[in-house]
Structure 1
Amino acid sequence: MAKIEVTHVGSLPRTQEVVDFIFAREREEPFHQDAFDAAMAKAVSDTVKRQVDAGVTIVSDGETSKISYATYVKDRYTGFSGDSPRNAPADLKLYPTFLKRLAESGGTPKYARPMCTGEVTSKGQGELEKDIANLKAAMAEHGAERGFMNAASPGVISLFLQNDFYPTRKAYLDALADAMKAEYETIVAAGMDLQLDCPDLALSRHMLFNDLSDDEFVRIAATHVEALNHALQNIDPAQVRIHICWGNYEGPHVCDISMDKVFSTLMDARARYVLFETSNPRHAHEWTVFRDRKAEIPEDKILVPGVVDTTTNFIEHPQVVAQRLERFTDIVGADRVIAGSDCGFGTFAGYGAVDPEIAYAKLGALAEGAGIAGLRAAGAAA
């Protein structure tokens, strides 16, 4: 049987206790560190158990302790203060009544996005080491054999924590790459796969660089990958995952840059595993890019298409999941495809469009669909 592994992008719904602790820290309100640490350890254990029960074979800690996938760096690195300007994605600006509704419904999470106002240096790996210990303990307890841990890429940090210190964008990216290098290496040294979250390679086109042409943006995205690859120079690409997306929000997405435009840049990253959206209705057709440009996909790359959506409460039918996976197994073979999600289910602490119970039901459908696709692939090969 051709088994198709099952994973997801990383973030999962957090309990209210976890959210309360995270925002107490965010607002610099008093809390007991021991109680915080105990709550995180328990929540990670529960999160890993639910993944295993759903059929996920490559698990994460759900990014439980982080306020968000990018801005957590302000708590672990020096050089950040104040606040960055908010800039709504260009597609939402085209539909102001929807943007207003989204904001009024709590769909635009409120948390600190400080500027870079000083030299970026690590405060040490203490918080990361707690996260790693929690994930490894949970995996051992619940029988998960393989795990991954998310980390922000230099490019996505530069998107959300904008530069007001370094003389140029490149200088800022270089400083971020140097600072994040130890975090990346610590994750891999602990036996985890490292996932780099890189929405800057797509989302930032219509969020920060909407005044540029696509070609001009692609040149900027290439500098982001160059900085990332520098930070990964001591890490085997076989232990690295990269995730690209156009923004994990329900919206028009009519300003998204195409996968075809960013394809080469994405393939240039020193990462074996490539995670990308294919359930998003504005990008579901782009599996054909992988088909038509198959010759440009390095033979060691593993494709991890998002075959369940993370912005709606529809639970995909396992047959739909299987069909979506088969588009890619037909291109590169079942041994080079892993079932994934479009994005995270709990991108920001306390916020997620998908009900927590439905999020895990989607992961269950993901696993069931992967099983169906694996059986079909085995049958075709027999």
Structure 2
Amino acid sequence: MPDRILTTHVGSLPRSREVTDLIFAQERGEFIEPADFDRVIGEAVDACVARQVESGVDLVSDGEMSKISYATYIKDRITGFDGDSPRTPPADLEAFPSFLERQARGGGTPTYRRPRCVGEIHPRTLAPLDEDVAHLKHAIAAHKPNGAFMNAASPGVIALFQPNDFYPTQDAYLEALAEAMRPEYEAIVAAGFILQLDSPDLGLGRHMMYKDRSEPEYLQLIERHVDVLNHALRNVPGDRVRMHVCWGNYEGPHHCDVEMGTILPVLMKAKPQGLLFETANPRHQHDWTYFRDMLSVVPEDRVLIPGVIDSTTNFIEHPQVVALRIQQFADIVGRERVQAGTDCGFSTFAGYGAVDPEIVYAKLATLAEGAAIASERMWKAA
């Protein structure tokens, strides 16, 4: 039982120029000496874990240093993917084409390859994961955080960004993805880390993948995403898994975002006991009211990890604001079932991040300060 509010974040953190150049060279198919890649990534993981601990983060990650993005990295770990996919903007940006064009001109749209499913999907290799695990374990031994998690793509988010050209139905595609990703999920937990499943398909999917569907159809479709995810987690205890849901880690109108209250009953059917979600985003600052008003659908073992700092602006939130956001959720489910998180990752794609790297760690420090204020208030009151 925790004696204070623990702090964490969604996963990705700023990568150095050396790391970014190396990842993109690898993406282009250039030969990279394996020992050089291992050394650069290992040093980067060590440095980012050290900075997380210094900033007051309790549950740290490897910053996703070795990955070009949180969803497309899977092409190197499972078979069946090749080529590229056309970009489909989310519905909110389509509604404001001048803003969409400005984002593209200003570098607000990251460029990287999104391969399509063109063949049968099977596990290819766990070697890259083994390297990630080794780097994070080494950094943990050196810097001794309170705990650690490692990210993995959910079947639904893989399908969101990497269309299916091979399987006869979307259900068959999702099932193949779930079974191919299962060894990675199980290996992360076996290594002693919390497994974080990145599942923006359950939120962002409404105004991207399923923007032409009715709301009932959409809910039925994402319930299927949850079903296959649960099947992939059949050998993993729910208390060793958390799930991140968001509406897109970008500055934009977000007026097409599906309401948290609409999807909350479906989210609560997922096996992971931890749920990370956006609340610092201005479009979702009211979402705490859904948890209050729909508490009956939230299982008593769920841990809520609201994003109490934003990941798309360079504002450093005031710690008192952070504390108030934490307390809103603690008042609903109890202080023992709340952790303090971030809205999304700070470097969702290698070489791309809206927040200055130094400000990222300043924001994490204010996250820790706000959690300490909230902890003192709540435990003192008790």
Once the two structures are TM-superposed, the CA of residue 105 in structure 1 deviates from its matched residue by: 1.0
CA RMSD between the two structures? 0.8
Contact 1:194/1:239 (CA < 8 Å) preserved in 2?
A: yes
Q: How does 1:348-363 map to 2 (within 5 A)?
A: 348-363=349-364
Separation (CA, whole Å) in 1 of partners of 2:330 and 2:162 = 38
Q: Secondary structure at the match of 1:285?
A: coil
Correspondence for 1:166: 167
1:253 paired with 2:254, answer: yes
Residues 2 and 334, structure 1, Cα contact 8 Å, conserved in 2: no
Asked whether the 8 Å contact 1:139–1:145 carries over to 2, the reply is no
Post-superposition shift, 1:145?
Answer: 3.2
TM-score (norm 2): 0.99
Q: Which amino acid aligns with 1:187?
A: I
Query: For residue 296 of structure 1, what is the aligned residue in structure 2?
Result: 297
Structure 2, unaligned runs of 5 or more: none
Distance (Å, rounded) in 2 between the aligned partners of 1:167 and 1:380:
58
Query: What is aligned with 2:70?
Result: 69
What is the deviation of 1:346? Answer: 0.6
Task: Report whether the alignment pairs 1:243 with 2:244.
Answer: yes
The more displaced of 30-39 and 88-97 is 30-39
Percent identity between matched residues is 60
Give the distance between the partners of 2:380 and 2:140, measured in 1 at CA.
32
Task: Show the counterpart of 2:138.
Answer: 137
Match of 1:113 in 2: 114
Counterpart-to-counterpart distance in 1, 2:325 and 2:216: 30
Residues 9 and 275, structure 1, Cα contact 8 Å, conserved in 2: yes
Per the alignment, residue 230 of structure 1 pairs with 231
**Which residue matches 2:17?**
16
> Equivalent residue for 1:327?
328
The answer on 1:84 being equivalent to 2:74 is no
How far is 1:294 from its partner? 1.3
Give the letter aligned to residue 126 of structure 1. Answer: A
How many residue pairs get aligned? The number is 381
Task: Find the residue that maps to 1:234 and give its secondary structure.
Answer: coil
Q: What is the deviation of 1:312?
A: 0.2
Question: Equivalences for 1:188-337 in 2 at 5 Å?
Answer: 188-337=189-338
Q: What secondary structure is seen at the aligned counterpart in 2 of 1:107? A: coil
- Alpha-carbon distance between aligned partners in 1 of 2:251 and 2:45, rounded to the nearest angstrom: 27
Question: Where do 5+ consecutive residues of structure 1 fail to align?
Answer: none
SS at match of 2:355: coil
Runs of 4+ aligned residues of structure 1 deviating over 6 Å after TM superposition are: none
Work out whether residues 177 and 227 of structure 1, in 8 Å CA contact, stay in contact via their aligned partners in 2: yes
1:317-353 Cα shifts (integer Å, max 9, x gaps): 0000000000001001111000000000010000000
1:148: Cα distance to partner? 0.3
Question: So what's the TM-score if we normalise by structure 1?
Answer: 0.99
> What residue is the counterpart of 1:6 in the other structure?
7
Check the 8 A contact 1:307/1:325 in 2, yes or no: yes
1:368 and 2:359 aligned = no
| Cα deviation 1:141-174 (Å, max 9, x = unaligned) | 0111310000000000001111000000000000
